[in-house]
Structure 1
């Protein structure tokens, strides 16, 4: 190994250790690693600049602005109020319909703000109906993660994997190209949660409710690997503004449709939509900046810089060579199963951005070494990179409901580990069916 490879490996190990230690904000950790690599010359300033201007960053930032405009218009609050009325009429069945509706929205919007808005509503409605909020808050988190895997923009993990694969020379994914894989996973996972999650949590549900009330939720809750203060966590209801809500919704649908029809990439259509919202005065420039969630964007950009360093130094090629050598005697299906399992394990320990950066180049190189299409391997990384169900800290939305519902750590293991295994099996079947080697 040369000096650049050793330095990159040291920085990578330090970043991973700091993320596991979880005492320093993840975006600061990622930026620190990027700064060391930049100062030591492993990466050049132009490459760092490219990381911060990648299509994944532009698409996410623009979608955050559009989602914030929908929130400020009062449209989301209006929808939530309608859902509350439905739940009061239908009881527990209404709550499951509400979870399904929230999951449908999560196909197109980042799951974290969806859960931030929806979790207090689910908790309060369950309490009003004299049902345990624990029965529904954990499924809420899992459902938003599952449905987020159904489209390219449903989760930042998909966008980042697509970006890293493009850097490795692969064509970009279409908006709904992964839907044939994500949809069966979401349906199987949702059915499992409906039928079995209550039974698996029965011991916890029988215990006295230990969930903190709204006044005692911690000041800062770590979501999306960034600190989210309590004022945002329990946002005040917004007055409904029909004109602004209609424009914001039309622009959102237009941006999605433009990307889905292949007229323009999602980064371009979402960016144009965000700018149009400002020009039409649906949202002010200051409000747009307020909705950007810079901690999330900086975390992803910092991890992309580390990924570039792995490529430029040759560390990724060395690691891939070791993996490829061990997989040469096996067929592509075995390699796919091993890759999915390794990615799923890593994402329980590390941030989704970290896993996307680490595993995507390896997946592409592994497929090429086996002489098969990299497409199924890239899709496997997308799905497994979000499949963090077995711990409350594997995915950002799990942390939100963990705090709010007063769960025990083992509640997530009991419900989430079988969900991991179920989605693992469904994903492998769906990937091999729709993305042939």
Structure 2
């Protein structure tokens, strides 16, 4: 930010994209960088972690994926166990785990879970899906799938990707049922659409992460993201219909 810091770093709020010049003992520099959550730019030879701590997550992730692929464990159990193993092997300090928890996101997801259930129990999903199905009857199968994909992509900038799935998944399943299609391609369309927000810097963490270092403005995202969104739709719809047949 072009200013000289002469106070304790604990009193300074570092933002994404900030560049800090540090002077100190080379032996302590890796530890200091880890505590600050920074990456070395000038001295690339600085090693922030040990080789063991780099191998353990890869092995644990591979075991979780194998257990899931062969049906030994449910996905939720396998990856929760992998996360616990990472902490038990001290790859990530427990303090960092607590600090990485995003309170507002957790609260929002906790609130939206009963909202998603209430949409199903009150019949609201049926109403919304019915209105969409009226439009869907005028469209071919690819058009109906595109409709759900675009709807998910339109909602996810205002929520986050997980919340969009919670809201859209029951609607997509009901929509597919009303049109006589299998639900799998429509649910996958929701998952893809929820994870493909290129129109705003706030819809996904990666968009926010590159905004500062890249010098992007808010208007840059829709200008560049809209063509990319069209590309996702053009590629995703036929691939979904091939991998998950509609009937």
Which bracket does the TM-score occupy, shorter chain normalised? 0.7 to 0.9
Match of 1:433 in 2: 242
Secondary structure of the 1:256 match is helix
Partners in 2 of 1:283 and 1:391 — Cα distance? 31
1:213/1:246 CA distance change after superposition, 3 Å: closer
1:326/1:243 CA distance change after superposition, 3 Å: closer
Q: 1:398 aligns with which of 194, 197, 207?
A: 207
Shift of 1:377: 0.7
Partners in 1 of 2:89 and 2:216 — Cα distance? 44
2:177 is the counterpart of 1:371: no
The answer to whether the 8 Å contact 1:348/1:394 transfers is yes
TM norm structure 1: 0.44
Tell me the alpha carbon deviations over residues 201-244 of structure 1, each in whole angstroms, 9 at most, x when there is no partner: xxxxxxxxxxx6435xxxxxxxxxxxxxxx86646887433334
Match of 1:317 in 2: 126
2:148 is the counterpart of 1:339: yes
> How do residues 291-330 of structure 1 correspond to structure 2 at under 5 angstroms?
291-330=100-139
Q: Note the residue ranges of structure 1 that are not aligned, 5 or more in a row.
A: 1-119, 121-211, 216-230
Partners in 2 of 1:399 and 1:427 — Cα distance? 24
The answer to whether the 8 Å contact 1:303/1:353 transfers is no
Q: 1:266 aligns with which of 75, 99, 102?
A: 75
> How do residues 15-414 of structure 1 correspond to structure 2 at under 5 angstroms?
213-214=18-19, 234=38, 239-283=48-92, 285-414=94-223
The answer to whether the 8 Å contact 1:332/1:367 transfers is no
Secondary structure of the 2:157 match is helix
Tell me the alpha carbon deviations over residues 146-203 of structure 1, each in whole angstroms, 9 at most, x when there is no partner: xxxxxxxxxxxxxxxxxxxxxxxxxxxxxxxxxxxxxxxxxxxxxxxxxxxxxxxxxx
Shift of 1:279: 4.2
Shift of 1:433: 1.5
1:395/1:248 CA distance change after superposition, 3 Å: closer
Partners in 2 of 1:349 and 1:243 — Cα distance? 40
Shift of 1:421: 0.7
TM norm structure 2: 0.73
1:345/1:253 CA distance change after superposition, 3 Å: same
Partners in 2 of 1:322 and 1:302 — Cα distance? 26
Partners in 1 of 2:217 and 2:92 — Cα distance? 41
1:313/1:233 CA distance change after superposition, 3 Å: farther
Shift of 1:322: 2.2
1:388/1:278 CA distance change after superposition, 3 Å: closer
Q: What count of residue pairs does the alignment treat as equivalent? A: 212
